[in-house]
Amino acid sequence: MSRSVKIASIYPTLLGTYGDGGNVAALRHIAALHGIAVSVEEVSPGQKVPANADIYVLGGGEDTAQSAAAAALHASGALAEGVKNGAAVLSICAGYQILGHTFLDAEGKPSAGLGLLDVTTDRLDKRAVGELVAHPLSSGPTGITAVLTGYENHGGFTHLGSGVEPFASVTSGIGNGDGTTEGAINGRVIGTYLHGPCLVRNPQVAEQLLSWAIGRKLEHIVEAEVEALRRERLDFVTKNR
């Protein structure tokens, strides 16, 4: 067995709505299926963020929590250093917005993000709530081929700059805000609005993150229970369009 993959769960008490904490649990589980040892460091507000993690995971959160997390990550600088060193990042919803250039705080004022993704976020006219289905882009930089499913609940309209690619194209839902693109990706940094948790419902995304961490491609392992969940969610969306 190779060295342990280090996973950093960033501020889960601030960024962990709609089951996002399950993403770390999914990474543990899927890593074990592939015989990969992992260690998890859960970073609480006020604690030092490691700069040497292989995978960073950020979840969603309300406006006040989002601003607090962004300020702490700015002050730390460790996440940016980790990305510079080749780490992979999965950022969900508020975590996704934090990685951009700007997002809106609780008062609707622009707040500085980390600039790790070339995106900016303002407000949707109407909050996006419901099941989200998207197809990974065939021209994208990942080995993900399976349809992506999740639950979106956000008021942000995220605009993509030239320095990122969409993570996926929307089949059902709002995604970034235009109903066409979902999430953003640059290098090994992924931002997405997929709650659910994302990695439980989309194990190929977890396998891609782990592949980046260990430096070799992982073949997809099919689990019957996960496939049943995915079919049920896809059937639900199809019947309720």
Is 198 assigned a catalytic role? no
Nearest to 72 by CA among 158, 14, 8, 156: 14
Reading the block at residue 53, the tokens are 């993690």
Active site residue 195: yes
DSSP at 215 = T
Of the residues 101, 154, 195, 198, which is catalytic? 195
216 with 164: CB under 8 angstroms?
no
Active site residue: 74, 93, 135, 198, which one? Answer: 93
Dihedral over alpha carbons 28, 15, 9, 223 (to 10 degrees): 10
**Rounded to an integer, what distance in angstroms lies between the CA atom of residue 221 and that of residue 237?**
25
Q: Which residues are catalytic?
A: 93, 195
